[in-house]
């Protein structure tokens, strides 16, 4: 074998070995990905995906200068109801995000029972919404941030899990908590600033 022939032979052997290593790495990578099919990990990712959609609803309320709370209801991987807070806009104490989403989901499925549904809401439900969730027999509720002053999914009481009722709801809290609470904090900060400016302009 000539010198250049040897170099070619060595480099093609090297290329072949490199190809084999790459293939092995790919298999390893795939195995690693397959290992990430941990059900808890999948559930977390799914919950975050739909909470992001609930946040999108909350931003609609924010744009109307309403307390930014948003909700989506999911069944079999499909959003079947959406809602956001419109209490001031509609002059309606019942116009909470969850109530609107429940009504829409029931209309869509043609059934008042939402037994196979998961409800995602950016803020812990109040007593009215927690009550409606139990009434609609929602299977699971996923909450963004808690509401220590009015929440009825664990803060003041937990209406979702009372053995005295005929239905208990599975509960998950703290999904995209940071984003959900930041939206609320920004809203109230801006509201305080607007009120201060209004007061100032009235005094002048």
Is residue 143 within the footprint of Zn ion (CB under 5 A)?
no
Q: How far is CA 51 from CA 45, 118, 179, in A?
A: 10, 11, 10
Of 119 and 176, nearer to Zn ion (C-beta) is 119
Q: Where are the beta strands (DSSP E) in 30-139?
A: 70-75, 78-84, 118-123
- Give the range of 9-17, 27-35, 125-133, 196-204 binding Zn ion by CB under 5 A: 125-133
> Which one of residues 129, 134, 138, 160 is an interface residue with Zn ion (CB under 5 A)?
129
What is the closest distance, in whole angstroms, from the C-beta atom of residue 127 to Zn ion in the complex? 8
123 binds Zn ion (CB under 5 A): no
Closest CA to 153 of 164, 84, 166, 140: 140
- C-alpha 111/C-alpha 104 separation (Å) is 11
Asked whether position 96 contacts Zn ion by CB under 5 A, the answer is yes
Is residue 69 near Zn ion by the rule CB under 5 A? no
Output the CA torsion sign for 88, 94, 97, 103. Answer: negative
Helix, strand, coil distribution of the chain in percent, nearest 5 = 55, 15, 30
Question: If binding is defined by CB under 5 A, does position 101 make contact with Zn ion?
Answer: no
98 is catalytic: yes
Q: What is the DSSP string of 31-48?
A: HHHHHT--HHHHHHHHHH
Query: Quick check: 61 binds Zn ion (CB under 5 A)?
Result: no
Q: Is 71 in the site for Zn ion (CB under 5 A)?
A: no
Indicate whether 82 belongs to the interface with Zn ion (CB under 5 A).
no
The CB-of-125 to Zn ion minimum distance in angstroms stands at 5
**What residues line the site for Zn ion (CB under 5 A)?**
96, 126, 128-129
Residues carrying an active site annotation: 98
């Amino acid at each position: 074998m000539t010198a250049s022939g040897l170099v070619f032979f060595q480099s093609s052997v090297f290329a072949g070995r490199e190809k084999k290593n790459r293939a092995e790495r790919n298999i390893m990578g795939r195995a690693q990905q397959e290992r990430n099919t941990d059900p808890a990990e999948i559930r977390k990712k799914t919950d975050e995906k739909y909470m992001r959609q609930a946040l999108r609803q909350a931003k609609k309320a924010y744009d109307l200068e309403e307390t930014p709370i948003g909700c989506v209801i999911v069944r079999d991987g499909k959003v079947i109801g959406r809602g956001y807070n419109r209490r001031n806009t509609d002059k309606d104490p019942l116009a909470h995000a969850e109530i609107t989403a429940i009504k829409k989901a029931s209309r869509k499925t043609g059934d008042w029972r939402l037994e196979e549904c998961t409800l995602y809401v950016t803020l812990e439900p109040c007593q009215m919404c927690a009550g409606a969730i139990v009434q609609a027999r929602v299977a699971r509720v996923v909450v963004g941030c808690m509401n220590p002053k009015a929440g009825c999914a664990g803060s003041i009481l937990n209406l979702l899990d009372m053995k005295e009722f005929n239905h208990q709801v599975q509960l998950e809290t703290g999904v995209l908590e940071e984003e959900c609470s930041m939206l609320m904090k920004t809203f109230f900060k801006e509201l305080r600033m607007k009120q201060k400016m209004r007061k100032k302009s009235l005094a002048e």
